[in-house]
């Protein structure tokens, strides 16, 4: 993209309404615009990151063997009357009447609807196991929408639902989700720690929340510092293997890590004192096993191997796709702006032309831009007629991990500068070498596409 043709409404002034750094930076970098409390338009730069995050979620869901579909945002109230949650959900649920005075609601989650789809089409245990998911807008009429996209009222969530014949199989689905979520967050450059959590309105005995440590997090968390040494890395896990998924779950959940809802001082006291940590965290996802809670009330049964009908075992799993933008920025910024991890950056590299209008720099930039695109990279070329300082400030604010700077003096020696946004380190090299280096850096991100199992 050429910046002269893009729509990047960066703000010069500090937005006064923003209390935390990620909200401030998203507004300043022209990523979002508030339309009502907790409701945002996603401007092109914000939309691009949102799509990158969504793409990673889809790829990791495919890797785990989960099937995408799409359910509507509006749901009939009757489904929720069946499960008993229409009344329980309270004021967080946005209730709507259509012209025929029928009750609708803007879905805060989709357990009822997916259970309805399941009971309409699945009859036999032979169709199990099955995990369906979608990435769809949710609405929760939060009492205090705040911190930008972190606590919106309308927000984008990946929510998935597993259907299994036995509790054992459903617990494997639970473990499999925990593993696949670890990989999902790491690809976004985040450490998200699974912590024992509370079931809340969705209910269930087994549940973990994934928390990103950040001072501005809304949850208080307690953990054994050893847990932050764990990384999933590029291990190859067979998601169908009960033992492999179980082993990862045990590795990542055996040390103490809990939110304030489940925190237990007595157990925590058994962790050596020097490893006991109290911190704040941002919840970026949660997984549940809840058994037959919905299948029993809504009549979602299958014929088992012995010919008898049994209610299906279920769990649900959510990732806060739009909240993740805020969480990633909270964990990756400095006083100049955002620093995107390579996995989610809106553009892979910025090109800054120090002397716009000069034949040699213009044609060198055009050539670099075209060559990067030819190699599957997505550059942002600042081709505006502006001061170098202003161009650098914009690039730093919007946080592209790499910058190529092209000026007449360097070009005379066939050199450009390649700068790392996080470290500030700059290296001089030929345009060809800079392109080759970037291609190498982004190889794991661009990598081969994940195939369905
Ligand atoms: P919270 O405790 O933060 O209100 P929750 O536990 O009610 O969240 P879940 O039902 O577990 O949320 O939803 C799955 C994920 O959706 C959460 O982990 C979070 O990342 C995201 N999410 C929930 N509520 C919001 C919101 N109001 N704005 C943005 N993201 C949200
Ligand atoms: Mg939750």
Q: Counting atoms of ligand 1 from 1, which one is nearest the CA of 284?
A: 20
Provide the percentage of residues in the chain whose pLDDT is more than 70.
Answer: 98
Q: Which ligand is nearest to the CA of 281?
A: 1
Please give the torsion angle defined by the CA atoms of residues 87, 93, 97 and 101, in that order, rounded to the nearest 10 degrees. -10
Summarize the confidence of residues 140-153 as an average pLDDT: 97
Tell me the C-alpha distance between 222 and 334, whole Å. 26
The rounded mean pLDDT for the chain is 96
Summarize the confidence of residues 292-301 as an average pLDDT: 94
- CATH code: domain of residue 41: 3.30.930.10
Pair 323, 381 in one domain:
no
Does 205 score more than 90 pLDDT?
A: no
Q: How far is the CA of 101 from the centre of ligand 1 (A)?
A: 30
What is the C-alpha R_g of the chain?
A: 24
Pocket probe mutation, ligand 1, options 91, 133, 184, 286, max atoms within 8 Å of Cβ: 286
Pair 154, 267 in one domain:
yes
Q: How far is the CA of 274 from the centre of ligand 1 (A)?
A: 32
In this prediction, residue 344 carries a pLDDT of 98
In this prediction, residue 198 carries a pLDDT of 81
Summarize the confidence of residues 203-207 as an average pLDDT: 73
In this prediction, residue 118 carries a pLDDT of 98
Pair 305, 382 in one domain:
no
Q: Which residue has the higher pLDDT, 197 or 339?
A: 339
Pocket probe mutation, ligand 1, options 42, 318, 327, max atoms within 8 Å of Cβ: 318
Which of 307, 336, 365 is at the close of a domain? 336
Does 199 score more than 90 pLDDT?
A: no
**CB-based contact 155:149 (threshold 8 Å):** yes
Summarize the confidence of residues 278-303 as an average pLDDT: 96
Pair 283, 355 in one domain:
no
Tell me the C-alpha distance between 244 and 236, whole Å. 10
Summarize the confidence of residues 262-282 as an average pLDDT: 97
In this prediction, residue 446 carries a pLDDT of 85
Pair 390, 274 in one domain:
no
| Residue 449 within any structural domain of the chain | no
What tokens appear for 226 in the block? 């050893």
Spatial CA neighbour of 211 closest among 203, 221, 202:
221
385 phi/psi in degrees, rounded to 5: -85, 85
**CB-based contact 398:345 (threshold 8 Å):** no
In this prediction, residue 66 carries a pLDDT of 98
Q: Per the structure, how many domains does the chain have?
A: 2
282 phi/psi in degrees, rounded to 5: -105, 125
Whole-prediction pTM:
0.96
Tell me the C-alpha distance between 366 and 364, whole Å. 5
54 pocket-lining for ligand 1 (C-beta < 6 Å): no
Summarize the confidence of residues 411-423 as an average pLDDT: 98
Pair 408, 312 in one domain:
no
Report which protein residue has its CA nearest ligand 1's atom 8.
283
Report which protein residue has its CA nearest ligand 1's atom 16.
320
In this prediction, residue 70 carries a pLDDT of 98
In this prediction, residue 204 carries a pLDDT of 60
Band of residue 148 on the pLDDT scale cut at 50, 70, 90: very high
Spatial CA neighbour of 164 closest among 385, 13, 316, 339:
316
Tell me the C-alpha distance between 346 and 82, whole Å. 43
Does 203 score more than 70 pLDDT?
A: no
HEC string of the chain equals CEHHHCCCCCCCCCCCCCCCHHHHHHHHCCCEEEEECCEEEECHHHHHHHHHHHHHHHHHHHHCCCEECCCCCEEEHHHHHHHCHHHHCHHHCEEEECCCCCEEEECCCCHHHHHHHHHHHCCEHHHCCEEEEEEEEEECCCCCCECHHHECCEEEEEEEEEEECCHHHHHHHHHHHHHHHHHHHHHCCCCEEEEECCCHHHCCCEEEEEEEECCCCCEEEEEEHHHHHCCCCCCCCCCCCHHHHHHHHHHHHCCCEEECCCCCHHHHCCCCHHHEEEEEEEEEEEEEEEECHHHHHHCCEEECCCCCEEECEEEEEEEEHHHHHHHHHHHCEECCEECCCCCCCCCCEEEEECCCCCHHHHHHHHHHHHHHHHCCCCEEEECCCCCHHHHHHHHHHHCCCEEEEECHHHHHCCCEEEEECCCCCEEEECHHHHHHHHHHHHHHHHCCCCCCC
Q: How far is the CA of 283 from the centre of ligand 1 (A)?
A: 7
Question: 149 CB contacts (<8 Å, ≥6 apart)?
Answer: 23, 26, 32, 40, 155, 322, 323, 325, 326
Summarize the confidence of residues 94-114 as an average pLDDT: 98
Q: How far is the CA of 321 from the centre of ligand 2 (A)?
A: 13
In this prediction, residue 451 carries a pLDDT of 75
What tokens appear for 210 in the block? 């994934």
Summarize the confidence of residues 201-210 as an average pLDDT: 78
318 pocket-lining for ligand 1 (C-beta < 6 Å): yes
Q: Which ligand is nearest to the CA of 111?
A: 1
Pair 432, 380 in one domain:
yes
Q: How far is the CA of 84 from the centre of ligand 1 (A)?
A: 21
Pair 165, 37 in one domain:
yes
Question: Domain limits at 394?
Answer: 349-442
Q: How far is the CA of 319 from the centre of ligand 2 (A)?
A: 9
Q: How far is the CA of 240 from the centre of ligand 1 (A)?
A: 28
284 pocket-lining for ligand 1 (C-beta < 6 Å): yes
| Residue 425 within any structural domain of the chain | yes
| Residue 101 within any structural domain of the chain | yes
CA 34 distance to own-chain centroid: 20
Pocket probe mutation, ligand 1, options 283, 317, 326, max atoms within 8 Å of Cβ: 283
Does 120 score more than 70 pLDDT?
A: yes
Q: Counting atoms of ligand 1 from 1, which one is nearest the CA of 210?
A: 18
Pair 209, 264 in one domain:
yes
Please give the torsion angle defined by the CA atoms of residues 261, 266, 267 and 271, in that order, rounded to the nearest 10 degrees. 120
Report which protein residue has its CA nearest ligand 1's atom 3.
283
Pair 267, 369 in one domain:
no
Summarize the confidence of residues 153-163 as an average pLDDT: 98
Question: For 344-368, what is each residue's pLDDT tens digit?
Answer: 999 999 999 999 999 999 999 999 9
Tell me the C-alpha distance between 300 and 309, whole Å. 10
Band of residue 452 on the pLDDT scale cut at 50, 70, 90: confident
Does 177 score more than 90 pLDDT?
A: yes
Q: Which ligand is nearest to the CA of 320?
A: 1
Does 208 score more than 70 pLDDT?
A: yes
Question: For 214-249, what is each residue's pLDDT tens digit?
Answer: 999 999 999 999 999 999 999 999 999 999 999 999
Band of residue 450 on the pLDDT scale cut at 50, 70, 90: confident
- CATH code: domain of residue 361: 3.40.50.800
Pair 405, 288 in one domain:
no
Pocket probe mutation, ligand 1, options 36, 323, 326, max atoms within 8 Å of Cβ: 323
| Residue 453 within any structural domain of the chain | no
Tokens 């009222």 belong to 153
């Amino acid at each position: 993209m050429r910046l002269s043709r893009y729509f990047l409404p960066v703000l010069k002034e500090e937005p006064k309404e923003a209390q935390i750094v990620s909200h401030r930076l998203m507004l300043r970098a022209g990523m979002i615009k508030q339309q009502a409390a907790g409701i945002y338009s996603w401007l092109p730069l914000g939309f691009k990151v949102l799509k990158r995050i969504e793409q990673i979620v889809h790829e990791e869901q495919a890797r785990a063997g989960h099937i995408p579909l799409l359910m509507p945002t509006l749901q009939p109230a009757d489904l929720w009357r069946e499960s008993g949650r229409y009344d329980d959900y309270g004021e967080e649920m946005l209730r709507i009447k259509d012209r025929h005075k029928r009750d609708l609601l803007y879905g805060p989650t989709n357990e009822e609807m997916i259970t309805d789809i399941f009971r309409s089409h699945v009859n036999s245990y032979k169709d199990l196991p099955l995990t369906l998911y979608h990435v769809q807008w949710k609405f929760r009429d939060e009492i205090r929408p705040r911190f930008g996209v972190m606590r919106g009222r309308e927000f984008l969530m990946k929510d998935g639902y597993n259907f299994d014949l036995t509790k054992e199989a459903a617990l494997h689905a639970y473990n499999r989700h925990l593993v696949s979520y670890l990989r999902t967050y790491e690809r976004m450059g985040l450490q998200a720690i699974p912590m024992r959590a509370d079931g809340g309105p969705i209910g269930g005995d087994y549940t973990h929340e994934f928390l990103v440590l950040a001072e501005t997090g809304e949850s208080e968390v307690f953990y054994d510092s050893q847990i932050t040494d764990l990384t999933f890395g590029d291990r190859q896990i067979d998601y169908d293997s009960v033992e492999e998924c179980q082993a990862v779950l045990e590795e990542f959940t055996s040390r103490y890590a809990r939110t304030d809802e489940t925190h237990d001082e007595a157990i925590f006291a058994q962790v050596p004192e020097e490893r006991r940590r109290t911190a704040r965290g941002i919840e970026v996802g949660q997984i549940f096993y809840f058994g037959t809670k919905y299948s029993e009330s809504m009549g979602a049964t299958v014929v088992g191997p012995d010919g008898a009908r049994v209610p299906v075992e279920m769990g649900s799993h959510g990732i806060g796709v739009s909240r993740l933008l805020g969480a990633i920025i909270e964990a990756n910024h400095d006083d100049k702006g955002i620093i995107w991890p390579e996995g989610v950056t809106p553009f892979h590299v910025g090109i800054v032309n120090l002397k716009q209008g000069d034949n040699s720099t213009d044609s060198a930039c055009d050539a670099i831009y075209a060559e990067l695109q030819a190699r599957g990279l997505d550059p942002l070329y600042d081709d505006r007629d502006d001061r170098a300082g202003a161009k650098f400030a914009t690039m730093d604010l919007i946080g592209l991990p790499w910058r190529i700077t092209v000026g007449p003096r360097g070009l005379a020696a066939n050199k450009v500068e390649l700068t790392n946004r996080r470290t500030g380190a700059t290296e001089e090299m030929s345009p060809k070498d800079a392109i080759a280096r970037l291609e190498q850096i982004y190889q794991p991100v661009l990598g081969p596409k994940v195939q369905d199992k």
